[in-house]
Structure 1
Amino acid sequence: MKFGLIVNLAKPEAIQLAGELCAWGRKRNNPFLLFAEEAPALRQNGIPLDRWLAEVETALVIGGDGTFLQAAHLVQHSGINLFGVSVGHLGFLAVGDPRRVCEQIEQIEKGDFKIERRRCLEGVLATEEKERRLFALNDLVLSKGIQARLVSLDVQVQGKPICEYRADGVIVSTPTGSTAYALSAGGPIVPPSLDCMLLVPICAHTLYARPTLLGPDDCLTLRPTENSELFLTVDGADVYPLSSRDRLDVRLSKDHGVNTVSLPQFDYYDLLHEKLLWGWNPVSERSARRA
């Protein structure tokens, strides 16, 4: 199996781990492939990106969830499997353990893993000038600009009016993104195995506003109803301005998704327990330390 590396070059610990893996791979006569844009920072040889995308079967993503999202956008048309190794803090996508990563790679080589297909959101941003098609593994977020004022958004499903939100914005999320911004805004935790979209208002100024689950075939339409400064953010990275004359249609993509490597020892609910500290009692822990 050909392995590639995608590394967060802003994190020294990620660079160090990547260097150790490159040396380990050479000793095993199965070197990790790096693309030319990243290789010089790691003092390694790289190959052109198009060749990298054609040859790599599984890519190790060393960083955090942000790095994993960037990698997802890079490989979403290639079918490359992604395995995230976390050197960050709270991470639900990069679940690999840097202390055991060599063992985990050998486990993948033996075939002791399964592939989870994570569907992406497909958004069509229609403005007066053009239509732009966008894809997000985590979420599409409509939010206000620098002005401290509410925005008004008309919400439709399958072309039928549902409600009008007055809020700081709205998050449209996949189950994968339910543990990201949507969680902070009060949305539900949804296992990635469920086929649905989440609609989560941000600080809504209406009593009826509640997080809502939408079906796998639903099409959600969002329109600003006032001349407010409004922006669309795709997976926390790319940003596009919106006016009251624009429209955003969102659905689960039928063709675009990301293959993630899941190891048997990484149960989703164990991950929630670890990352969210479910069942942790700080008072009891402090008492035990004092004893």
Structure 2
Amino acid sequence: MSKVVKSVLLVIHSNRPEASATAKDLAKLLTEKQIEVFSTLPNLSINEFSNQQIDLAVVLGGDGTMLRAAEISRGKGVPILGINLGHVGFLAEIEKPSLNEIVTAIASATYSIEERMSLNYQLIRDGKVLQTGWALNEVLVERNDHQMIDTFVQIDHRPLSRWWCDSVICATPTGSTAYAYSAGGPVVWPEVDALVLLPLAAHSLFSRPMVVSPKSEIVLDLGSDSADLNADGIRRITLKKNDRVILTSDKEDVLLAHIKPATFTDRLVAKFKLPVEGWRGQ
């Protein structure tokens, strides 16, 4: 059972008319339940959000919009409820619930909450911490021109390998089904506390995906003239030669809310349309 919800933020995909229309209808129903409603989009006849204290964030969009909501909710202990609007995402509800189901679950606080681990990064330049940040899905150190990057990889203060590659991906279990999956990484169940580390298109004798302890510290030293650090596709930093990127699990989890119970196995089957009834025919 969750706490009583008095205020809700609607995080809306700006380029989906269906999201805006659904937001207006949902805001009306929530207001009738005496729940204060805010919106990330102006001109919707809904209170515009400007860092007010909220009890729940409701996302109307895809996984990209979910990442934006995670950014807004960061540090506030606010659960995020994702509503599927056409595409099945790993972070949102598998099946789109009716507006009445959504309002009833919010008003009665009967949604469940799932904790997802996040990833912390530090950028060290000339021995000083230049920048810190976090990611829900993954952090990449990737090339920003036609040249491959040279990275010296260390884990727990011990050298592992030197990779010439297009990028090095460090992903959370949540991010294991995103870019890391496309690069040949393993699918990690969200309940497993671990980090996935793998290079993309590596010119190396050893370039296997690795599952690393969440207590480990991963260090990437850049030997190339330049590269980019990319966190969740939201935060991007230009790196210089001899920069050091330190990756660890973050102390703060992201809270995902769900109206309908569904296992991660159900999400895999729905997302990838897995042939659970067999593929060989009769």
- Indicate whether the TM-score tops 0.5: yes
- Equivalent positions of 1:222-237 (< 5 A) are 222-227=220-225, 229-237=226-234
Q: Which residue is 2:121 aligned to?
A: 123
Structure 1 stretches of at least 4 aligned residues deviating more than 6 Å after TM superposition: 280-285
The CA deviation at 1:245 is 1.6
Q: Does the 8 Å CA contact 1:153/1:166 hold for their aligned counterparts?
A: yes
Shift of the 150–40 alpha-carbon distance from structure 1 to 2, 3 Å rule, reads closer
- If each structure's helix is expressed as a fraction of its own residues, which one has the higher value? 1
Q: Counterpart of 2:47 in 1: which secondary structure? A: coil
Query: Distance in 1 between the 2:237 and 2:62 partners?
Result: 24
Query: Distance in 2 between the 1:111 and 1:26 partners?
Result: 15
Residues 1:83 and 2:88 aligned together:
no
Query: Distance in 2 between the 1:26 and 1:88 partners?
Result: 25
Q: Which residue is 2:243 aligned to?
A: 246
Q: Counterpart of 1:154 in 2: which secondary structure? A: strand
Q: Which residue is 1:135 aligned to?
A: 134
Query: Distance in 1 between the 2:129 and 2:33 partners?
Result: 51
Q: Does the 8 Å CA contact 2:37/2:46 hold for their aligned counterparts?
A: no
Q: Which residue is 2:33 aligned to?
A: 28
Shift of the 282–19 alpha-carbon distance from structure 1 to 2, 3 Å rule, reads farther
Q: Counterpart of 2:117 in 1: which secondary structure? A: strand
Query: Runs of 5+ in structure 1 lacking a partner?
Result: none
Q: Which residue is 1:113 aligned to?
A: 111
State which of 249, 259, 263 in structure 2 corresponds to 1:267.
263
AA in 2 matched with 1:257:
D
State which of 42, 45, 53 in structure 2 corresponds to 1:43.
45
The CA deviation at 1:39 is 4.8
State which of 190, 193, 196 in structure 1 corresponds to 2:194.
196
The CA deviation at 1:86 is 2.1
| TM-superposition CA deviations, 1:149-202 (whole Å, max 9, x none) | 321111001110011111111110000111111111111110111111110211
The CA deviation at 1:130 is 4.7
Shift of the 30–12 alpha-carbon distance from structure 1 to 2, 3 Å rule, reads same
Q: Does the 8 Å CA contact 1:157/1:221 hold for their aligned counterparts?
A: yes
The CA deviation at 1:29 is 3.4
Q: Does the 8 Å CA contact 1:83/1:96 hold for their aligned counterparts?
A: no
Query: Distance in 2 between the 1:167 and 1:213 partners?
Result: 19
Q: What is the count of residue pairs matched by the alignment?
A: 276
- TM-score, normalising length: structure 1: 0.87
Q: Which residue is 1:279 aligned to?
A: 275
Query: Distance in 1 between the 2:125 and 2:86 partners?
Result: 37
Query: Distance in 1 between the 2:199 and 2:88 partners?
Result: 23
| TM-superposition CA deviations, 1:54-109 (whole Å, max 9, x none) | 2x211101111001101101111101110111225341112264452431342344
State which of 64, 71, 74 in structure 2 corresponds to 1:73.
71
Q: Which residue is 2:214 aligned to?
A: 216
Shift of the 205–5 alpha-carbon distance from structure 1 to 2, 3 Å rule, reads same
Q: Does the 8 Å CA contact 1:272/1:278 hold for their aligned counterparts?
A: yes
The CA deviation at 1:45 is 2.8
The CA deviation at 1:258 is 1.1
Q: Does the 8 Å CA contact 2:88/2:94 hold for their aligned counterparts?
A: no
Q: Counterpart of 1:32 in 2: which secondary structure? A: strand
The CA deviation at 1:31 is 4.2
AA in 1 matched with 2:104:
E
Query: Distance in 2 between the 1:284 and 1:17 partners?
Result: 41
Q: Counterpart of 1:94 in 2: which secondary structure? A: coil
